[in-house]
A and B are shown apart, each in its own frame.
Chain A
Amino acid sequence: KNEVEQSPQNLTAQEGEFITINCSYSVGISALHWLQQHPGGGIVSLFMLSSGKKKHGRLIATINIQEKHSSLHITASHPRDSAVYICAVVGRAQKLVFGQGTRLTINP
């Protein structure tokens, strides 16, 4: 079993829908990152969380340390949100462990 599990692996939705991507982890962590990667593109950091909730524009990220779970929400989704979203946790010895990613497609 992977230390970091994301669900769903693939998600297709219509423009305007509310999107939720989940990340569960099995190890102790000091922080969690949400990353975005467009097809053929580089990787962009969206959020770094160690507790609670953060919001940036239409994106919201939450983390529950006790339950070892984080969610990334996108409100009023748009085709330009189509990308792979990657959860990564900061484990022991300052090493990142990545989830497999969630491929999101937003249709107009």
Chain B
Amino acid sequence: NAGVTQTPKFQVLKTGQSMTLQCAQDMNHEYMSWYRQDPGMGLRLIHYSVGAGITDQGEVPNGYNVSRSTTEDFPLRLLSAAPSQTSVYFCASSWQSLNSPLHFGNGTRLTVT
């Protein structure tokens, strides 16, 4: 039982490049979500999903895409990286809704130059 697995741990991109941050969980959780954490701004919701095939936007969705084709996986795509997307990204899951304990991945530190 690995919990929530995020890859990669570190990534450096040039402006305009694209990439996908991977998030997988093996707990059969319905709810999955992506957050970014910036100094002075705290954690902010990017996108979330309440089940396979269902996604919705959070507080800061611009520049990011998500899909949820399976219960286990919830990848976050940066279509054209910008320096403003330099941040630490966390994926989290919970059983059926946010009224259940949260499980976080270890984070991805992304730098866009």
Contact = CB atoms under 8 A, between A and B. Distances in A.
Given A98-B44, A100-B42, A101-B42, A42 B106 contact: yes
Q: Which of B50, B100, B101, B102 has the most CB of A within 10 A?
A: B102
A45 B102 contact: yes
26 contacts: A31-B98, A31-B99, A33-B102, A35-B102, A42-B90, A42-B105, A43-B90, A43-B92, A43-B107, A45-B103, A45-B104, A48-B102, A86-B42, A88-B43, A90-B97, A90-B98, A90-B99, A94-B31, A94-B48, A94-B50, A95-B48, A95-B58, A95-B98, A96-B33, A96-B98, A97-B45
Interface of B: 31, 33, 35, 42-45, 48, 50, 56, 58-59, 90, 92, 97-107
Question: Considering the complex of A and B, which 4 residue pairs feature the smallest CB-CB distances, nearest first?
Answer: A43-B104, A90-B98, A98-B43, A42-B106
Interface of A: 30-31, 33, 35, 42-45, 48, 50, 86, 88, 90, 93-101
